[in-house]
Structure 1
Amino acid sequence: MLPKVSIQILSQSLLAGTFVLISSGNAMLTDSGSANASEIPSIVQDTVSSATTSVSGNTSKPNPVSISDPIVDETIFGATRFDRATDLKMSYVSPLSDVLPRSVDRQTISQTPASSLNPNEPSEPKKWAVGVHAQASTTGFIGIDGGYKFSPNLHARLGLNTIGFNYNYKSEGIDYSTNFKPTNIHLLGDYFPFGGGLRLTGGFFIQNNQFTATAKSDSNNQITLNGTTYDASQVGNIGGEGKFGSSVAPYLGIGFGTPISSGFGFNIDAGVMFAGSPTVALSANNISSSIPTAIQNQIRSDLAAQEQKTNADLRSFNLYPVISIGVSYAF
């Protein structure tokens, strides 16, 4: 008696041959009148059943074999069902192929990207962006930003601003020529409540904004310190250095534009940085040695008093204004 595996292989071989017979002889049998096309499935089943019974020696009627069953037994070879006309490499496809079941490899479909299944579907919008900007700003004229779009209405950006500017400042009757040297690292969130360019911005700055100042004499070449007037030649150069009180400064503001959108952009910002009150240290260099020592000491004393008055004047300046207008390019 042949093993069960051999019987199954023989049955499958007979079935494959029978299928070829059906495919190639469908029209021929109908034309000859010897058999009707509707009788072909029963002929195939009787032939296969007889062959199986004669080999096994079993006179019991086996389960009928359907032409729709897979030609390769999954339990023996671990193979999946396939398209018979393709895998048997037949040059002729029978009209019965339209009604034969065709298996679909589910694993292949599950691994197929959605974009290939629907090529007309738009791709996901770009979320990351890096850009540079040039601006007229109180936080620095040149900057770089990197950002991420959590949604069309919520963006986050991390950036750096630097490159300062000069300006004139007057305190307690003294005019100063001031050079501002900003260094600002910011982490900001932009919320677009209406979906357009208008946004609300919040976050914080890590700032190291410093400034240097030089006192200027008046039109008579005189400088007044703590209410006492001196010739500029007596006091020499009076300078100062200052910085803001808080290295980490919260920020709140409003703006227009999307700084991290691809391509060129136009941006406006207005807000306040809670940077703390600045402090300044004044110094007198090159006090004239030709003047009496008492006057030299008086100049130093008046300069110290002037420094205290200047810091008191700056104490109320604890909100640093942020105003920015500029262009950006992100990619």
Structure 2
Amino acid sequence: MKTLRTLLAATVLTAIAGTAMADETVVKDGYAFDRNQLVPTGVRAEVGTTGYGGALLWTANPYVGLALGYNGGDISWSDDLSVDGVKYDVDMDNKLAYLNAEIRPWGASSNRWAQGVYMAAGVGYLDSEYELNSRAGSGQIEINNTPTSFSSVNGKVSYDNDIAPYLGLGFAPKINKNWGVFGEVGAYYTGNPTAKLTGVGGTVADQALLADHERNIENDDEYQWLPVGKVGVSFHW
């Protein structure tokens, strides 16, 4: 599975390189390469499910752009994740660097709203960890509809030093010449994470059930994808 993820990431990187070098064909048409194309044309600040951060932006032409960014920081949600019927509070420690090509099918349109629609393809370097906490409270913790005597279940789910391909869809209209807003949804293909869970209390049978629960997290296809949703503002010069 990791070989497949690496192969996909390499394919995406090759596609990004090809997109970035697409302007070489312009040289054949009698135009000289402009080294200013290497200078970023904008920046953006963003926040979402992968943390908060920002990106440098390059515009190769009206149809193609590049974004090189980083998201990090801690984000916490209550009852955000449910696995085998167990609801967890999630504390996310995000570390994500990414490089995306942004393709704008209507980049040359006179309609600024149409100009803002883009498809993103790229790769990310993930080193993120999710801390999971579930408390019995006044009830019982059930795993796969089986009651247990655990007073709490705690653990971590990690995506360690992984290169992951990414696909997304975004909307980034300009408000005026310099300022714009954007929103983007997508997913990284990460392969399964590493999970480590500990139950407080519980019988021997409960511990065996917890071990199966842990393996489900590591092997379920559902957790091979890391969803992304983020919004932000951009500035272009």
What TM-score results when the alignment is normalised by the length of structure 1? 0.50
Q: Which has the larger radius of gyration?
A: 1
Q: Counterpart of 2:101?
A: 189
SS at match of 1:307: helix
1:225 CA drift (Å): 5.2
Answering whether residue 86 of structure 2 is matched by residue 174 of structure 1, we say yes
Distance in 2 separating the partners of 1:132 and 1:205: 17
Distance in 2 separating the partners of 1:184 and 1:255: 19
Q: Give the aligned CA root-mean-square deviation in angstroms.
A: 3.1
Q: Counterpart of 1:72?
A: none
SS at match of 1:306: helix
1:242 CA drift (Å): 0.5
Give the conservation status (yes or no) of the 8 Å contact 1:205–1:249: yes
Distance in 2 separating the partners of 1:125 and 1:200: 21
Counterparts in 2 of 1:266 and 1:172: CA distance versus 1, 3 Å: same
Q: Give the AA of the match of 1:209.
A: S
Distance in 2 separating the partners of 1:270 and 1:188: 13
Answering whether residue 71 of structure 2 is matched by residue 161 of structure 1, we say yes
| Deviation beyond 6 Å, 4+ runs, structure 1 | none
Answering whether residue 213 of structure 2 is matched by residue 303 of structure 1, we say no
Quick one: which of 263, 271, 284 aligns to 2:178? 263
More strand by share: 2
Q: Which string of whole-angstrom CA distances, capped at 9 and with x for unpartnered residues, describes residues 278-320 of structure 1?
A: 23211135x4xxxxxxx754554443233234444x4333222
Q: Counterpart of 1:138?
A: 49
Superposed, which structure 2 residues align to 1:61-210 within 5 Å? Answer: 128-135=40-47, 137-140=48-51, 142-167=52-77, 168=79, 169-195=81-107, 196-210=115-129
SS at match of 1:128: coil
1:193 CA drift (Å): 1.9
Give the conservation status (yes or no) of the 8 Å contact 1:273–1:322: yes
Counterparts in 2 of 1:329 and 1:162: CA distance versus 1, 3 Å: farther
Counterparts in 2 of 1:328 and 1:219: CA distance versus 1, 3 Å: farther
Give the conservation status (yes or no) of the 8 Å contact 2:126–2:160: no
Q: Which string of whole-angstrom CA distances, capped at 9 and with x for unpartnered residues, describes residues 49-105 of structure 1?
A: xxxxxxxxxxxxxxxxxxxxxxxxxxxxxxxxxxxxxxxxxxxxxxxxxxxxxxxxx
Superposed, which structure 2 residues align to 1:20-59 within 5 Å? Answer: none
Among all aligned residue pairs of Structure 1 and Structure 2, give the percentage whose two residues are the same amino acid. Answer: 22
More helix by share: 1
In the alignment, structure 2 segments of 5+ residues that lack a partner are 1-35, 108-114
Distance in 1 separating the partners of 2:227 and 2:150: 36
User: Bigger shift: 261-270 or 181-190?
Assistant: 261-270
Q: Counterpart of 1:249?
A: 164
Q: Counterpart of 1:319?
A: 225
Distance in 2 separating the partners of 1:176 and 1:203: 30
Counterparts in 2 of 1:162 and 1:246: CA distance versus 1, 3 Å: closer
1:187 CA drift (Å): 0.6
What TM-score results when the alignment is normalised by the length of structure 2? 0.67
Distance in 2 separating the partners of 1:143 and 1:262: 23
Give the conservation status (yes or no) of the 8 Å contact 2:128–2:160: no
Q: Give the AA of the match of 2:116.
A: G
1:130 CA drift (Å): 4.7
Distance in 2 separating the partners of 1:214 and 1:159: 30
1:268 CA drift (Å): 1.5
Q: Give the AA of the match of 2:211.
A: A
Counterparts in 2 of 1:134 and 1:144: CA distance versus 1, 3 Å: closer
Distance in 2 separating the partners of 1:126 and 1:315: 40
| Count, aligned residues | 191
Counterparts in 2 of 1:125 and 1:279: CA distance versus 1, 3 Å: closer
